[in-house]
Amino acid sequence: MFGNLGQAGKYLGQAARMLVGVPDYDTYVQHMQDNHPGKPVMTYKEFFRERQEARYSGSGKGGMRCC
């Protein structure tokens, strides 16, 4: 956990995004180029929405839904 001391930002938002379960967009684009060339690649906005939806909406598992 304390492996990158001194490199972390002071604000949580500047720390690694992977940790909140939203994979890095660049990694996704690279994955699409490597494994699915020729298939449409989501824009950052589409990717972010898709990931957020996959994580928080739908089944209501994990206590994330409130209504």
Partner 1 sequence: MKPIAVTILTGFLGAGKTTLLRHILNENHGYKIAVIENEFGEVPIDNTLIGDRASRITTLSNGCICCSRSNELADALLDLLDAVDQGQLEFDRLIIECTGMADPGPIIQTFFSHAIICERFLLDGIITLVDAVHAEQQLNQFTISQAQVGYADRILLTKTDIAPDNATLLHRLQLMNARAPIYNVTHGDIDLSLLFDIEGFVLNDRLNITTPPSLFRRIPQPQNNIQSIVVYHIPPLELIQISEVMEDLLLKFADNLLRYKGILSIKDEPRRLLFQGVQRLYNADWDREWLPADKRKSTMVFIGIDLPEEEIRGAFTALGDTFVH
* Nearer residue to partner 1 within complex by CB, 33 or 56: 56
* Nearer residue to partner 1 within complex by CB, 34 or 66: 66
Pair 39, 46: CB distance under 8 Å: no
Residue 24 burial (CB count, 10 A): 12
54 scored as a contact of partner 1 (CB under 8 A): no
The CA distance from 20 to 8, in Å, is: 16
9 scored as a contact of partner 1 (CB under 8 A): yes
The CA distance from 44 to 37, in Å, is: 18
Residues that bind partner 1 (CB under 8 A): 1-3, 5-6, 8-17, 19-22, 25, 44, 48-49, 52-53, 55-58, 62-67
